[in-house]
Amino acid sequence: MNTRTIIASLAIVAGAAAPAGAGGFAISEQTITAAGTGGAGAARDDEAGAAWTNPAALADGGGWRLGAGLVLARPSIGASGENAAGAWTADSENPWATPPHLDVAWGRGRLAAGVAAGVPFGGGVVWPGDWEGRFEIVRSRLEVFRVAPFVAWSLGRVRIGGGPHLDRGRLRVARQMDFIDMEGDVAIDLAGTGVGLHLAAWAAASPAVALGVTYKSRTRLPLAGGADFTVPDAFSEKTPDQEAQATITLPDRIVLGSRWTRGRYAALADLELTLWGTYRELAIDFVQDQTPDVHQATRWHTTLAARAGGEARLSRRVIARAGAAYDPSPAPDDTLGPSSPDAARTSFTAGASVAASSAFTVDAFAEYLRLGARSTTGMEGMAASFSGQAVFVGVGVRWTQR
């Protein structure tokens, strides 16, 4: 097997995993309360989850606030196409994912400080080991865990805040390799750390209207790890087990949000701009010179997502929520593939909060998300059509000490 054939066999060895939650590989379900209103929360100022959605809002002298939650998510993706043998179909075998989040904040007078931790990017796809596209991808998984401390200050009706964030990312990919009369496989496991920053502002435009804006910067993640090959003996010299490196730059995200309150009711809406142009290519550099490096074009573009919802206080202890969101895909048709079968997402959510005591509140939400149907148009990858759906459920608890 010559070098050109090896390159063809490796060409799509890695692709960023397509998540369930938001366009690209972003995850919008970061707090249980905001998830219940379609993900809108940039103008919310009444709970610990604002440490993630808008930390500036917490500079209200509100004392200690703690919140923790766990989201269970399971996407299901279907693929179909035709080959020389006729039509084929396949369904993904994704397991349940469980991204957690933790928010801690303290405020006194004009000052607030705290930290938010969660999984803002990630997801994956698992295809059957014998499916039609196994030579392009079998398993792909991306996980990014973020810790974001902050300090905030009140200027009166306007509050500002910000701080650094630390991201730890891990990318795992596995696929079969076609050696004409036999098959092999490769598994890649890379991890790395990057640093960025986040800024936020919150304003009380009137007694009934609050506005919020947040900026979370891009993070460059240099990833390093290993590549394990299982290949026929005749080709083992070209593809030995070895170290590998890659770089992923997570996108900048800008959110503008509003909250309108009247009596027992509130309405929230967010617009989120994600600068996916940071993800133009995924390149993997193998340490051994005899193994050709991988360059997979992605050419993702900027997207604008809309999220909105409302909540109603049904009693002194119970709040009900509902919402919807639309998040377009950043992936063009000509780079779409089974390693990241991304599509526009339309989601519908419902949630509730129950005050167990004056200090403790239990939150829950559920979400149904539909991924639009798409077909590949690129000449290099397999011809296929993809569609899917995902379900989410989440539960959390909040504690407040004023």
Tens-place pLDDT, residues 262-306: 999 999 999 999 999 998 888 889 898 888 887 777 889 999 999
Who contacts 299 (Cβ-Cβ below 8 Å, separation ≥6)?
280, 281, 332, 334, 335
pLDDT greater at residue 192 or residue 141 = 192
User: Taking 80 as the threshold, does the pLDDT of residue 45 lie above it?
Assistant: yes
User: Taking 90 as the threshold, does the pLDDT of residue 5 lie above it?
Assistant: no
Span 113-123, mean pLDDT?
A: 94
Span 340-359, mean pLDDT?
A: 91
Phi (first) and psi of residue 239, to 5 degrees: -135, 65
How many residues does the structure list for the chain?
Answer: 402
User: Taking 80 as the threshold, does the pLDDT of residue 366 lie above it?
Assistant: yes
Look up residue 91 and give its two tokens.
């369904």
Torsion of CA 192, 187, 249, 49, to 10 degrees: -70
Proportion of the chain above pLDDT 90, given as a percent: 58
User: Taking 70 as the threshold, does the pLDDT of residue 381 lie above it?
Assistant: no
> Model pTM?
0.90
Burial 286-312 (b: 16+ CB within 10 A, else e): beeeebbebebebebbebebbbbbbbe
Task: Compute the distance between CA of residue 298 and CA of residue 276 in angstroms, rounded to an integer.
Answer: 10
Give the Å distances, CA to CA, from 125 to 18, 198, 281.
Answer: 7, 30, 19
User: Taking 80 as the threshold, does the pLDDT of residue 255 lie above it?
Assistant: yes
Torsion of CA 51, 197, 326, 37, to 10 degrees: 0
User: Taking 90 as the threshold, does the pLDDT of residue 360 lie above it?
Assistant: yes
User: Taking 80 as the threshold, does the pLDDT of residue 121 lie above it?
Assistant: yes
The region of weakest confidence among 82-91, 178-187, 251-260, 378-387 is 378-387
Who contacts 62 (Cβ-Cβ below 8 Å, separation ≥6)?
105, 107, 112, 400, 402
Per domain, the residue ranges of the chain are 3-401
pLDDT greater at residue 148 or residue 92 = 148
pLDDT of residue 1: 42
Among the CATH numbers 2.40.30.10, 3.40.190.80, 2.40.160.60, 3.50.50.60, which is that of 3-401?
2.40.160.60
Task: Compute the distance between CA of residue 49 and CA of residue 32 in angstroms, rounded to an integer.
Answer: 8
User: Taking 60 as the threshold, does the pLDDT of residue 2 lie above it?
Assistant: no
Closest CA to 15 of 100, 197, 141, 196: 141
